[in-house]
């Protein structure tokens, strides 16, 4: 029993030392409204809030709605707890305007803090987020159905706040249903596509320079760089909002980040809300940065035959479909028929270069059209020799026979 009493007394003394002196209470005018809070004084006599804080402000005014003067009352309120000058525990905020029968847009939020940082639940307009160290974590979902919008957006953040796994947005556009899908691996976008659910058509996003899935497959956390083909790559962490003009609010995870950011900015900018520590860390993303290129002796060699020849994505059948769909007939009536033979190089990254007509049938239109078609092809699966991607010359006959 004595040990318990002694421990309790020591705890009380430590608490007394930590806050410097006995708590005092202020109640009165505060930032244009009324506030009540407890505090202690630091060595300079400044107040350090510690304990419960409440704030209320009410202003009356007259607004104009549809040509009518509408009296209204604007009410601000905030309440929560401070711990040695920083927010701790659950805080509630409200900014509403009461115009009687006229409804005005308002603001309300409930946020949990741990030692001044958003940690735990955040509730805003019926949506609940889980926060960790000022970042969003866990699954999120939002649906919006208005006269002009009808969509659902869902995904998840990992424990460090990076978007992770599949993110999807389902919506209606021009009488069809669509689903946008982005796949992330700890903040790195590795795949992106749009599917017209109504027709079944899928449009995939092409990544320049480095295929992120190849990067992820080769990534080794024990090394400071990753080799993809001949490219030496690293990851760079960035935030969508504001860094080097990278901002793109249309990115699916950043939609939620913009919402959290607007909440934090609202609290920070509103007098009386107790906004000393209010900030939002943002959503961290990753991108692949090429830092160097490996030099190879056979870098400029163009092969005509290799162990594994280059291939159009999906094989010969898909190549024929691509040609049939994208080769455009001449607007001029013509009985020109025959084969155009085109030769080009499939580079180590699958890109096409050096296309030229070996045998043509119509230099005024169809020869040029074949070159346009080849130069606009998606990246091929590159050829390989001794297990390495190499440049390969490829000859392709294309038959012209429009009825």
Per-residue pLDDT of the chain (403 residues), as tens digits, is 444 444 444 444 444 444 446 899 999 999 999 999 999 999 999 999 999 999 999 988 776 666 667 777 889 999 999 999 999 999 999 998 876 666 666 889 999 999 999 999 999 987 899 999 999 999 999 998 888 889 999 999 999 999 999 999 999 988 999 999 999 999 999 999 999 999 999 999 988 889 999 999 999 988 889 999 888 999 999 987 544 444 444 578 998 998 899 899 999 888 888 767 788 888 999 999 998 877 555 567 899 999 999 999 999 999 999 999 999 888 776 778 899 999 999 998 899 999 999 999 988 889 999 999 999 999 999 999 888 898 999 999 999 887 6
CA distance 174 to 148: 12
Question: Which two structure tokens, joined as six digits, stand for 199?
Answer: 């027709």
* Chain centroid, CA 84 distance in Å: 35
Tell me what pLDDT residue 241 has.
57
Block residue for tokens 């079944």: 200
* Chain centroid, CA 117 distance in Å: 22
Tell me what pLDDT residue 84 has.
94
> Which residues are within 8 A (CB) of 328 and not within 5 positions of it... i.e. 6 or more apart?
369
Q: Do 286 and 235 form a contact (C-beta atoms < 8 A)? A: yes
Q: Tell me how far apart the 2 most distant CA atoms of the chain are, in Å.
A: 109
CA distance 59 to 330: 72
Q: Do 392 and 364 form a contact (C-beta atoms < 8 A)? A: no
Tell me what pLDDT residue 39 has.
96
Torsion of CA 322, 325, 329, 335, to 10 degrees: 80
Question: Which two structure tokens, joined as six digits, stand for 227?
Answer: 């080799």
Q: Which of 327, 330, 314 is closest to 376 using CA atoms?
A: 327
Name the pTM for this structure. 0.64
Tell me what pLDDT residue 19 has.
43
Tell me what pLDDT residue 272 has.
86
For the stretch 232-281, pLDDT in tens is 999 999 987 544 444 444 578 998 998 899 899 999 888 888 767 788 88
Tell me what pLDDT residue 99 has.
67
């Amino acid at each position: 029993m004595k040990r318990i009493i002694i421990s309790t007394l020591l705890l009380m003394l430590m608490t007394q030392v930590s806050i410097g002196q006995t708590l005092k209470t202020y109640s009165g005018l505060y930032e244009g409204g009324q506030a009540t809070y407890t505090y202690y004084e630091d060595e300079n006599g400044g107040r350090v809030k510690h304990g419960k804080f409440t704030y209320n402000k009410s202003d009356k005014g007259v607004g104009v709605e549809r040509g009518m003067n509408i009296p209204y009352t604007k009410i601000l309120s905030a309440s929560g707890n401070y711990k040695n000058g920083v927010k701790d525990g659950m805080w509630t905020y409200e900014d509403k305007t009461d115009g009687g029968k006229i409804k005005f847009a308002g603001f309300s939020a409930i946020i949990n803090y741990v030692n001044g940082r958003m940690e735990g639940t955040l509730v805003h307009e019926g949506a609940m987020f889980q926060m960790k160290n000022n970042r969003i974590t866990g699954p999120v979902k939002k649906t919006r159905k208005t006269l002009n919008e009808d969509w659902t957006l869902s995904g998840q953040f990992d424990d460090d706040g990076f978007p992770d796994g599949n993110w999807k947005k389902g919506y209606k556009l021009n009488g069809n249903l669509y689903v946008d899908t982005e796949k992330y691996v700890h903040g790195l976008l590795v795949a992106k596509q749009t599917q017209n659910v109504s027709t079944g058509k899928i449009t995939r996003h092409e990544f320049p320079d480095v295929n992120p899935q190849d990067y992820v497959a080769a990534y080794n956390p024990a090394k400071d760089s990753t080799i993809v083909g001949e490219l030496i790559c690293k990851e760079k962490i960035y935030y969508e909002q504001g860094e080097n003009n990278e901002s793109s609010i249309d990115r699916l995870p950043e939609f939620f980040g913009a919402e959290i950011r607007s909440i934090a900015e609202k609290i920070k900018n509103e007098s009386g809300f107790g906004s000393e520590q209010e900030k939002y860390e943002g959503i961290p993303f990753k991108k692949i940065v090429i830092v160097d290129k490996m030099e190879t002796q056979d870098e400029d060699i163009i092969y005509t035959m290799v162990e594994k020849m280059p291939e159009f994505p999906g094989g010969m059948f898909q190549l024929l479909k691509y040609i049939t769909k994208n080769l455009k007939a001449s607007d001029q009536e013509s009985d020109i028929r025959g084969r155009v033979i085109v030769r080009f190089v499939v580079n180590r990254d699958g890109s096409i270069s050096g296309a030229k007509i070996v045998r043509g049938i119509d230099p005024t239109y169809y020869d040029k059209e074949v070159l346009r078609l080849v130069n606009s092809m998606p990246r091929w699966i590159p050829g390989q020799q001794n297990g390495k991607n190499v440049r390969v010359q490829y000859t392709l006959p294309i038959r012209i026979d429009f009825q």
